[in-house]
Chains A and B, each alone.
Chain A
Amino acid sequence: MPVLHSFLRGKYRVLVFAVAAFFLVSVGVYTLNFVLLQNVERDAKSINEGGKLRGYSQQLAKAVLTLSHESAAGEPVQTSQAQISEAYQAFDLALARVQTFAAASQDGPALELADKLDRQWQPLRDAAITLLISATPQRAEIDAAVTLSNTRNVRLLQLADDLTYEQERLAGDRARSMRVLQSGAIAVALLMFVFIVVHVARRLSQSDREAEQARRETTDILRTVREGLFLIDRNGTIGTQRSEHLARVFPHPLAPGDNFLVTLASLVTPDTLDSARQYLGLLLNERVKPALLADLNPLQRVQLAQPDGSRPKYLSFGFQPVRGGAATGITGMLVAVADVSQEVRLERELADAEERARSEVALLLDVLDKDPADVRRFLDDARAKLDGLNAALRDVAPEARAYLTTVTKVCREVHSIKGEAAALAIGAVAAQAHRFEDELGALRQRRTLTGDDLIPVATGIGRMLQELAKIDAVISRLAAFAQPAADAGPRGSETPRGEDGVLQSMQRIQRLALAVAADLDKKLRVETSLPHFGAIPEPVHRLLREGLPQLVRNAVVHGIEAAAERRRAGKHEEGRLRIELTRSADGGIELTVADDGRGIDVHALRRRLTEDGQRAAEQVAAMSDRDVIATLFEPGVSTAAAVSEHAGRGMGLDVVGALARETGARLKLVSTPRAYTRFTLLWSPA
């Protein structure tokens, strides 16, 4: 039924009606023919019966005459009587049929002629029957019958002729009607046939044109579209039609009949393939809402497996369900493939550029408000230290102890660089150094190191050098902008600083101390004392640059308590940090860093030494307080509970101790628990 319905509503509607009309006309013509042929048959029989009437009338007349002669000659008449009987009965029957046919044909003239025949026939019939009553009829009866036969027979013959003529005329009329009807029907049928042929031919021609146009448009679309398009059925089998661009996008030829997922298997990871299989299955599932799957296409951007060394290729696959109709549901998928490698590369380049810009802007902001000479000196010193570390790594003796010593040295120098960077507020370098310290700390936890363990150390030093190079680049650009100003004096002067330089150093240190205190949520007041004493020797300046930040950070982190703790201890909420640089009467120089914090907790320090495994418990118990405090200047000893960017690695005082040795200073440490800690560095007169 749906097929017939679609036929009646579709483009074949006219054709169906034309064929139905042709069929109806044919049936009508056949029916009419059938009826007319029945009439013709009846007419033929009627004509035949008319002819018989003539014969029977003559047969009766002849028998009557024969009987008359036989009776006159005294011969037996039985044969003649039998002939008379046969003739009159046959006439009766023929006349009755003629009357029936005329009545059936409703032929008025024929009916009238039949009545006349009947009226002429009845007297002769009666006379003939009289001759049959007796075996030897009377002469008078015979003569009367002969007379009647002679007169009526001629009239009967005349009427029978008239009747036959009338019947022939009627049959002729009918035959003409039939010819006209048949000719008309054939003409109508021909017209319909011509109509059907013309209509079908036109329809076929139009369909051909439309199909050709559709094929041409489809070909144009598939040739022009900038996406790889193809169809797959519900089983993932690839269809025959595809866009030309597909061959340029897809790395393998896709043959009709191949399975899409099998082809994909060699291009993506097994996990991606599994996800793709699940995704396609869900897309074909009518019960799963398409919106639910909108962002879950695992092939939306997929990196293809490529031969080693070639540029990575990224494809984007889109899937659109294809519906065959309301009854059939989803029959397959239209797959659209695009090469998005260029977009991915551009996005990554853009992200890298943004990251570089962010990093450079951060560096720019870091160095803008610094004394160029300080920054330059820092860069040169840091680079020299890192180069020295690289050399140490190259020359390290191949034994675990030497490896550990080298890593410890790297730790110390990196910590020193971090301190200086923090003092100069060059956050990027400080953060990089802090991350590197994390890695080095993990190495130092291991007591047995191998040569391979030094590889990440070398890599870390490389990253530090890169970070320094970035600052160099930023400074170079700034210098290019400010060329005239730069001409006014040499950049990065190495000459010893005067009082102004020391003042700036102190201001930086003050800012560092306040920044660390703010980070740790502590309240702090920094006092500096810097009497006028002229130029400062380079060794002292080096300690101010590299060692003082460590001392100050140690004081703020370990010494100064949080406000609540200070209140409980009966102290002012605001901690006090005092930095003094003085010249003694004999020309020596003294640097003091003192805080009114919790002092050094010797008991905690003993516990830490044991817990960290740096000393045996018995050894620690045997040490005096002074010796225990002296361990603070060894690498890896700290009283901080956790490592932060500011302190806790136990490297700060190690750096200070090493600097004191290198610059010829005496280092003194005085501390009272819960009261204060004071570091003093003394340089004898030159």
Chain B
Amino acid sequence: MKARLLIVDDSMVIRNLIARQMLDERLPPIDLVDLAGDGEQALAIALSRKPDFITMDLTMPNMDGEACIERLAEVLPGARIMVVSALSDKATALRAISKGAHGFLHKPFSEEQLVAALLELMS
């Protein structure tokens, strides 16, 4: 059974960059990729599409990433969430993991770093 991915980021460039990277043959096949531009959109999409994996920006309009992770951990506990953020301080990462994130990738990231982080998330 193939997996579903939800990419949450207020930057279209980052959303497209991650989505494009899913074609990398080193990654497991993904049959459905959804995109969301903020936390509220992400929550709505997650409830209807039930993604297996989620990449989550932290600084976003409407609902920020931390609040979204907290809600997702309640309503979709099986989903594995990786934070992709330019906020690089340890306190932010620890808060995100405490709230239910399973991985952390700092922006800016290289292609190799993104693939390695996604592999780790999907393992």
Q: Which of A271, A274, A296 contacts B93 (CB 8 A)?
A: A296
Contacts A271-B91, A296-B90, A298-B90 given: A278-B98 contact, CB under 8 Å?
Answer: yes
B104 touches A292 (CB 8 A): yes
Q: Does A279 contact B (CB under 8 A)?
A: yes
A278-292 vs B, CB cutoff 8 Å, 1 = contact: the mask equals 110110000011001
A282 touches B103 (CB 8 A): no
Measured CA separation A610–B102 after assembly (Å): 58
Q: How many residues belonging to A are interface residues under a CB distance threshold of 8 Å?
A: 15
What residues on B are CB-neighbors of A408 within 8 Å? Answer: none
B97 touches A275 (CB 8 A): no
Contacts A288-B97, A293-B97 given: A275-B104 contact, CB under 8 Å?
Answer: no
A375: shortest Cβ distance to chain B, in Å?
A: 42
Q: Is the interface of B mostly helix, strand, loop or mixed?
A: helix
Q: Does A150 contact B (CB under 8 A)?
A: no
Q: Does A58 contact B (CB under 8 A)?
A: no
B103 touches A275 (CB 8 A): no
What residues on A are CB-neighbors of B97 within 8 Å? Answer: 278, 282, 288, 292-293, 296
B94 touches A278 (CB 8 A): yes
In A243-284, the 8 Å CB interface with B consists of: 271, 274-275, 278-279, 281-282
Name the CB-closest residue of A to B95.
Answer: A278
What residues on A are CB-neighbors of B95 within 8 Å? Answer: 278
B19-41 vs A, CB cutoff 8 Å, 1 = contact: the mask equals 00000000000000000000000
Name the CB-closest residue of B to A279.
Answer: B94
Name the CB-closest residue of A to B103.
Answer: A292
Q: How many residues belonging to B are interface residues under a CB distance threshold of 8 Å?
A: 10
Measured CA separation A309–B98 after assembly (Å): 38
Name the CB-closest residue of B to A300.
Answer: B90
Q: Is the interface of A mostly helix, strand, loop or mixed?
A: helix
Measured CA separation A297–B91 after assembly (Å): 9
Name the CB-closest residue of A to B102.
Answer: A292
A297 touches B90 (CB 8 A): yes
B30: shortest Cβ distance to chain A, in Å?
A: 22
A188: shortest Cβ distance to chain B, in Å?
A: 64
Contacts A282-B97, A292-B97, A293-B97 given: A275-B102 contact, CB under 8 Å?
Answer: no
Measured CA separation A295–B91 after assembly (Å): 11
In A551-597, the 8 Å CB interface with B consists of: none
A296 touches B94 (CB 8 A): yes
Name the CB-closest residue of A to B99.
Answer: A278
Q: Which of B94, B98, B102, B103 contacts A298 (CB 8 A)?
A: B94
Q: Which of A281, A293, A298 contacts B91 (CB 8 A)?
A: A298
B91: shortest Cβ distance to chain A, in Å?
A: 4
Name the CB-closest residue of A to B91.
Answer: A275
Measured CA separation A298–B95 after assembly (Å): 12
In B67-123, the 8 Å CB interface with A consists of: 90-91, 93-95, 97-98, 102-104
What residues on B are CB-neighbors of A282 within 8 Å? Answer: 94, 97-98
Measured CA separation A271–B89 after assembly (Å): 12
Name the CB-closest residue of B to A299.
Answer: B90
What residues on B are CB-neighbors of A275 within 8 Å? Answer: 90-91, 94
Measured CA separation A275–B98 after assembly (Å): 10
What residues on B are CB-neighbors of A288 within 8 Å? Answer: 97
What residues on B are CB-neighbors of A297 within 8 Å? Answer: 90
Q: Can you show 26 pairs from A to B with CB atoms below 8 A apart?
A: A271-B91, A274-B91, A275-B90, A275-B91, A275-B94, A278-B94, A278-B97, A278-B98, A279-B90, A279-B94, A282-B94, A282-B97, A282-B98, A288-B97, A289-B102, A292-B97, A292-B102, A292-B103, A292-B104, A295-B90, A296-B90, A296-B93, A297-B90, A298-B90, A298-B91, A298-B94
